[in-house]
Structure 1
Amino acid sequence: MKSPRRTALIVIIVLLVVGIVGGVFANHQLAKKRHQQRLVATTYAVVQIADKLKLPLVGVPTTANKMPARYKNVTKVGNPMNPSAEKIASLKPTAVYSVTTLKDQFGKSFKQQHIKPYFLNLQSVSDLQQTVNEMGKQYDRKAEAKLANQEINQAITKAQKRAGSHQKPRVLVLMGLPGAGYMIATNHSYVGDLVRIAGGKNVFTSKDQEYIQPSDEAIQKTHPQVILRLEHAMPTMVTQQFNSEFKSQSFWRQTPAVRSKRVYDLQEPDFDATANMHAAKALGEVSKWLYPGSK
């Protein structure tokens, strides 16, 4: 007859073996699940997030921006504004990602291919950080997500310290449109959010709109001390448009920003219409422009 002590020892050994086998199986299943993920990013901002989280991609957008090394030979699926549903479907994706601001661009062709894209909210820095956290949890990249957000948090702390208790400068944010002039970016836009965090006062605010188109008279009345010109699409053309506009329209020369030469051009990859993983660097730049004399 087996002693109770020997029986207990056998039970403990069996439990340990079962636990080890179960752990190995669980890790195998997790690795298998990771390997089976077939993710498609249709915008460069999503590509940046995937790169920071070290996620595999089977499809990336067609863009002039430099693609991260890990995605150098990945299939191009077309312009972010009009990606190819047929090409994406051929990749047999497990998930397709875009951003909320382009939601209206995904129409019938995607429904016909039975593709349901996920739209990431990247309208502000906090939205970006929340998205990074959520994707980190979903794809078991919590450590990478934490590291990415720490970098942004450090930039926020530094910008707030630089602003201190100084009087907030009045800031006008313009978004250039190739061949179609420009629009005003409000406090609800991404660059407007950078201005807010950096301690600036956006001269145009809105309850819900990201971009508006006020008159020249309305702009004149704001007396901006700093002007930020976002040139995220076709920057060479948009920069020329801005320069021509600022020379031909006399009211620009009367603004404090132009008189004091505090007009700055914002271009990709550091700046865009939506938040991206260059947010820390972008915030640092805006902070220096708003408070050039502070450390």
Structure 2
Amino acid sequence: MIVIILVVGIIGGLFAQHQLAKQKRQSRIVATTYAVVQIADKLKLPLVGVPTTANKMPARYKNVTRVGSPMNPSAEKIASVHPTAVYSVTTLKDQFGKSFKQQHIKPYFLNLDSVAQLQSTVTQMGNKYDRQTEAKQANDTINQAIKRAKNRAKGQTKPRVLVLMGLPGAGYMVCTNQSYVGDLVRLAGGQNVFTSKNQAYMQPNDEAIRNAKPQVILRLEHAMPEMVTSQFNSTFKSQSFWADTPAVKAKRVYDLQEPNFDATANMRAATALKQVSKWLYPGS
């Protein structure tokens, strides 16, 4: 009886492993944002749907079906590729409306608001799709960048940093410590002049910015960069208080653009952190 139980247990275990491997082989994954595409590429995951974007698509996804912009993905196109999993990010959760329910599509929303959450997501995806080795390699690269940034900032006075996010045709917002770029500033050893317990973005306040006296200004231009850069330059010239900020006087105003920078964390985090670190501590 003991031998029979052992044999049945072994056979059951092998069958379960076979079924799991079969399930992973049959995974039909749709990534609706470029950040998710980057994660999938690092983990060497097959995709059956990718976003319609101006960003350069990794070679492995060159001929994969485009399913619409991250801000307005097409439920019909996604349904046409018969996905087993559809991934977006938490900041775009409101974009998935009734059309997705009608197509019986239930997206998964990945939290990419910080570097730590990015790494956690990479680990979870690696475990889910049997890509633990690739996930560890990706996270090790980020950990090395964090270590180098900390060494660069060690023993130095933290510079006061103002982070702005440009909005095409609609001015800009202030990015707090809760935003992704705000998290990069923290990891690089900077002091964000605007902090919050739960808000990633705030409405700008000229008087508050003037009083904060930022020594470094980072301007995120992740969407339509040419238009946003022009808006920023025009605003900085037309509003006289900008000229009085230490950052402008010292010419320490830097523009952040894709693919290295975005509103959500992505697999360029190590490169982005290295750049922010150099901007904050140029002499180190």
Q: TM-score range by the shorter chain?
A: over 0.9
Shift of 1:198: 0.4
Corresponding residue for residue 254 of structure 2: 264
Corresponding residue for residue 7 of structure 1: none
Matched residue SS, 1:271:
coil
Higher Rg of the two aligned structures: 1
Of 232, 235, 242 in structure 1, the residue corresponding to residue 225 of structure 2 is 235
Matched residue SS, 2:149:
helix
Distance 1:81 1:126 in 2: 24
Q: Unpaired segments of 5 or more residues in structure 1?
A: 1-13
Of 128, 147, 150 in structure 2, the residue corresponding to residue 138 of structure 1 is 128
TM-score normalized by the length of structure 1: 0.91
Matched, 1:37 2:20: no
Q: What per-residue deviation string (whole Å, max 9, x for no partner) do you get for residues 41-78 of structure 1?
A: 00000000000001110000000000000000000000
TM-score normalized by the length of structure 2: 0.94
Q: What per-residue deviation string (whole Å, max 9, x for no partner) do you get for residues 12-31 of structure 1?
A: xx9xx999988886665444
Corresponding residue for residue 60 of structure 2: 70
Amino acid at match of 1:219: I
Distance 2:16 2:278 in 1: 49
Give yes or no for contact 2:172–2:204 (8 Å, CA) kept in 1.
Answer: no
Percent identical among aligned pairs is: 79
Distance 2:253 2:149 in 1: 19
Shift of 1:238: 0.3
Matched residue SS, 2:88:
strand
Distance 2:204 2:272 in 1: 26
Distance 1:254 1:193 in 2: 26
Q: What per-residue deviation string (whole Å, max 9, x for no partner) do you get for residues 119-151 of structure 1?
A: 000000000000000011011100100000000
Give yes or no for contact 2:193–2:214 (8 Å, CA) kept in 1.
Answer: yes
Shift of 1:284: 0.3
Matched, 1:161 2:151: yes
Matched residue SS, 1:140:
coil
Shift of 1:35: 2.3
Matched, 1:80 2:81: no
Distance 1:102 1:80 in 2: 8
Of 194, 197, 200 in structure 2, the residue corresponding to residue 204 of structure 1 is 194
Distance 1:149 1:163 in 2: 21
RMSD of the alignment, in Å? 2.0
Q: What per-residue deviation string (whole Å, max 9, x for no partner) do you get for residues 192-219 of structure 1?
A: 0000010000000111100001321111
Of 48, 56, 66 in structure 2, the residue corresponding to residue 58 of structure 1 is 48
Distance 1:193 1:292 in 2: 19
Corresponding residue for residue 152 of structure 1: 142
Distance 1:209 1:23 in 2: 47
